[in-house]
Amino acid sequence: MSEMVLYEKHGPVAVLTINNPPVNVFSPGVPEGIKAGLERGNADPEVKAFVLIGGGRSFIAGADVKTFNLPREQQPDMRGTIAKLEANPKPVVAAMHGNALGGGLEVAMGCHYRVASRALKVGQPEVKLGVIPGAGGTQRLPRVIPLQEALTMIVTGNPISAEKAHEFGLIDELIEGDLLEGAVQFAQRAGESGELPKIRDRDVKLDIPAHMFFNVATERVRKEARGLIAPLLCLEAVKGAVELPFDEGLQREGELFLQAQRSDQSRGLRHIFFAEREAAKINGVDRSVKPREIRSAGVLGAGTMGGGIAMNFANAGIPVTIYEANAENLERGLATIRRNYENTAKKGRLTLEQVEERMALIRGTLSFEDLADADYVIEAVFEDMNVKREVFGRLDAVCKPGAILASNTSTLDVNEIARATSRPEQVLGMHFFSPANVMKLLEIVRPDKVDDQTLVTSVQLAKTLGKVGVVVGVCDGFVGNRMINQYGREAQQMVEEGASPRQVDDAMHALGLPMGPFEMSDMAGLDIGYAIRQRQAQEAGREKSDTFMDRIVEAGRKGQKTGAGVYSYANGRTPEVDPVAEQIIQDSRAEKGVEPRELTQEEITKRLVYQLVNEGAKILEEGIAQRASDIDVIYVYGYGFPASRGGPMHYAETVGLENVLADIKEFHEQHGDTWKPAPLLERLVREGKTFRDALSAQPSAVS
């Protein structure tokens, strides 16, 4: 018998325990084990019923992600296993705890009965990977629970609690004490009754005519899908459950599954799914290095970023001390945090009691010494090297030995910051994105001297804080902002040539980004870019920078915060095309003698995205990013690049690197040096390779 499924007799009940730690995913070996267990119990006259249960932490948590990209024939036979369970001559009871998601729930629905412990989560999350449930989920779930609820679960991918599932009749009994014991008793009774209820034999219950139900549902799903096809295919499959006999519905589900699986969107979503997991691996660091436990934290600066960072700790239940130099700013910072929590409570996402619990974990102080005991300190003071150096020197003197000191700097050299301390091994960058309590991305910046345990601890901390941490090397702007600078400059260049900001932003909407470059800079504030351009102009020996963007800022328009920037914001945050800005743009072109020309959406899209790709290739070659997929994770979680496109580097591969390079070369000829092709890109195309083949150097070796 397969070791993946253990067989044990409890009186007249055969217990099949799935033994595929940690969460019993449906790997090769599991289906064979279940089938063998059923055969053994069926052949034993003493056995009257079966219990199928997961060993350890969970029931079958889902399909095995390692098999996701295999052709259907090579995947573990889930449909066959379910058919065997359902047709078994002796009753089978699924006993569930932990998670029963995706294939896990489908297997449970193939059993005759389902019992569960209260902490169980059940759901069909397949849509989140751009596919649909493929082993009968779309046919069985609507036959057990109300159609509307089933559709919502399948289309959104969101799980429900055991209690809800019990209320809906998906779970026959909630077991209070020991799950196995309760399940065996239940199975014994089922064995005596001899009944073999099958979900496939039930009808979908519907109070209104099906076409009316689906008319409304289609409109809703289409609207919420925002261009994604998997939710619509889910809907189609569920329709099959209502309109077709069971076996035909199952067949239809299979066809729709393949359609979804072969789509570029699903490829993109699966790419990001794997990329996110891969991002946790740190090149050159042994897997045996264990993270240190972080029991308390410190944050310096209660400004925009410091407040949000402190909230992350409080949300994770870690007490945090915020130090501020200025009493008024401290008070304002703490008040902002409280207001943020209260707003969340107003939306019903926190109770007032939880607001107080979180606030109680945050302590403000004006005394540096209060940071002495913190295990992990994150600095978010002004972006000025002298201030940072001074602060890190003081931190080093006050904080206990071994405490990790991190900077949230977005542009400064973290190596230099580390040198201001006597413990550069425990100093690194933790680059949060604004708003820090919301954005999931965290660039973990790896300076030369940082030790492995500090890195591993920081990657683990990112996870604890609910972030997606990506390790990057030291350079100006790290990965995300270094790339966005090229993208932003290209956006401005295209407006100089004749495109309107609206056209440029719309091209990115069409790609699926929630915001285009000008909407994004209006939100972030135009003064930051202005200051950088002026500094760069002076460094280059020019008197000043005088682009249309500079003129917009000089007209007092700094973006959303001043009510106007490239757009105007009479209605809060909705950008409106503004004649004043339009005029500034036209005047700027006229003075420079530019004859405006039409740019197509295709050109705009290529020039924006290929700037990202070209710079991404340079970053990869320099070892600033460990792998191309890390860059994709950064763009999806930090900059709103649609996950269904898999991030800019994956997108380039779907277009074909040779096609991307050909366009880049053409842009190079037309527009000069900002389009110099990345040598890595040229090499990969020459050798017929992909970004995945481009193994980069260690980030720490470069900086």
**What is the rounded CA–CA span in Å between residue 132 and residue 141?**
13
CB of 445 within 8 A of CB of 478? yes
Question: Which of 326, 536, 586, 600 is in the footprint of ligand NAI by CB under 6 A?
Answer: 326
Q: Is 86 helix (H, G, I), strand (E, B) or coil?
A: helix
Q: Is 680 helix (H, G, I), strand (E, B) or coil?
A: helix
407 sits in which H/E element: strand 404-407
Shortest distance (Å) from residue 227 CB to ligand NAI: 28
Strands (E) located in 186-274: none
Question: Which of 218, 259, 283, 304 is in the footprint of ligand NAI by CB under 6 A?
Answer: 304
Q: Is 301 helix (H, G, I), strand (E, B) or coil?
A: coil
Shortest distance (Å) from residue 433 CB to ligand NAI: 6
Shortest distance (Å) from residue 595 CB to ligand NAI: 37
Which is nearer to ligand NAI, 264 or 527 (by Cβ)? 527
SS3 content of the chain, % helix, strand, coil (to 5): 55, 10, 35
Question: Which of 408, 588, 626, 696 is in the footprint of ligand NAI by CB under 6 A?
Answer: 408
Which is nearer to ligand NAI, 329 or 601 (by Cβ)? 329
Which is nearer to ligand NAI, 329 or 503 (by Cβ)? 329
Question: Which of 106, 276, 324, 621 is in the footprint of ligand NAI by CB under 6 A?
Answer: 324
Type of residue found at 163 = E
DSSP structural state of residue 436: T
Q: In what order do the strands lie in the sheet with 160-161?
A: 99-101, 121-123, 160-161
- At residue 241, φ and ψ (nearest 5 deg) are -65, -30
**What is the rounded CA–CA span in Å between residue 148 and residue 574?**
34
Q: Which of residues 373-402 bind ligand NAI (CB under 6 A)?
A: 380-383, 387, 391
The answer to the question of residue 420 lying near ligand NAI (CB under 6 A) is: no
Q: Which of residues 2-31 bind ligand NAI (CB under 6 A)?
A: none
The answer to the question of residue 56 lying near ligand NAI (CB under 6 A) is: no
Question: Which of 4, 151, 300, 311 is in the footprint of ligand NAI by CB under 6 A?
Answer: 300
What residues are annotated to the active site? 106, 126
The answer to the question of residue 314 lying near ligand NAI (CB under 6 A) is: no
Owner of token pair 């206990």: 400
The answer to the question of residue 634 lying near ligand NAI (CB under 6 A) is: no
Which is nearer to ligand NAI, 120 or 406 (by Cβ)? 406
Which is nearer to ligand NAI, 19 or 329 (by Cβ)? 329
| Residue 115: both structure tokens together | 């019992």
Which is nearer to ligand NAI, 317 or 393 (by Cβ)? 393
Cα end-to-end span (Å), the chain: 54
- At residue 557, φ and ψ (nearest 5 deg) are -100, 100
The answer to the question of residue 306 lying near ligand NAI (CB under 6 A) is: yes
The answer to the question of residue 523 lying near ligand NAI (CB under 6 A) is: no
The answer to the question of residue 291 lying near ligand NAI (CB under 6 A) is: no
Shortest distance (Å) from residue 431 CB to ligand NAI: 6
The answer to the question of residue 434 lying near ligand NAI (CB under 6 A) is: yes
Shortest distance (Å) from residue 434 CB to ligand NAI: 3
Question: Which of 12, 303, 512, 640 is in the footprint of ligand NAI by CB under 6 A?
Answer: 303
Q: Is 39 helix (H, G, I), strand (E, B) or coil?
A: helix
Cis preceding linkage at 679, omega within 30: no
The answer to the question of residue 305 lying near ligand NAI (CB under 6 A) is: yes
Which is nearer to ligand NAI, 415 or 614 (by Cβ)? 415
What burial class does residue 122 get, using C-beta atoms within 10 Å of its C-beta: 0-12 exposed, 13-18 middle, 19+ buried?
buried
Cβ contacts of 148 within 8 Å, gap of 6 or more? 213, 217
**What is the rounded CA–CA span in Å between residue 50 and residue 59?**
15
Type of residue found at 58 = S
The answer to the question of residue 406 lying near ligand NAI (CB under 6 A) is: no
Shortest distance (Å) from residue 478 CB to ligand NAI: 10
- At residue 205, φ and ψ (nearest 5 deg) are -90, 135
Q: Taking Cα atoms as reference points, which of 154, 440, 473, 415 lies closest to residue 284?
A: 473
Q: Which residue is nearest to ligand NAI (CB)?
A: 303
| Residue 113: both structure tokens together | 């009965």
Which is nearer to ligand NAI, 404 or 599 (by Cβ)? 404
Strand pairing of 567-568 and 576-577? antiparallel
Shortest distance (Å) from residue 323 CB to ligand NAI: 6
The answer to the question of residue 219 lying near ligand NAI (CB under 6 A) is: no
The answer to the question of residue 410 lying near ligand NAI (CB under 6 A) is: yes
Shortest distance (Å) from residue 511 CB to ligand NAI: 24
Strand pairing of 404-407 and 427-432? parallel
The answer to the question of residue 142 lying near ligand NAI (CB under 6 A) is: no
Question: Which of 19, 259, 329, 460 is in the footprint of ligand NAI by CB under 6 A?
Answer: 329
Which is nearer to ligand NAI, 434 or 659 (by Cβ)? 434
Distances (CA, A) of 616 to 512, 548, 649, 680: 20, 27, 7, 10
Side-chain-side CA neighbours of 395 within 13 Å: the count stands at 34
Q: Which of residues 471-510 bind ligand NAI (CB under 6 A)?
A: none
Q: Taking Cα atoms as reference points, which of 224, 220, 251, 253 lies closest to residue 236?
A: 253
Shortest distance (Å) from residue 527 CB to ligand NAI: 12
Size of the site for ligand NAI (CB under 6 A): 24
Which is nearer to ligand NAI, 12 or 640 (by Cβ)? 640
Dihedral sign (CA 506, 512, 518, 522)? positive
Q: Is 111 helix (H, G, I), strand (E, B) or coil?
A: coil
Stretch that binds ligand NAI, among 11-19, 188-196, 224-232, 319-327 (CB under 6 A): 319-327
Strands (E) located in 249-357: 297-300, 320-323
The answer to the question of residue 521 lying near ligand NAI (CB under 6 A) is: no
Shortest distance (Å) from residue 485 CB to ligand NAI: 14
Which is nearer to ligand NAI, 80 or 514 (by Cβ)? 514
- Binding interface with ligand NAI (CB under 6 A): 300-306, 323-326, 329, 380-383, 387, 391, 408-410, 431-432, 434
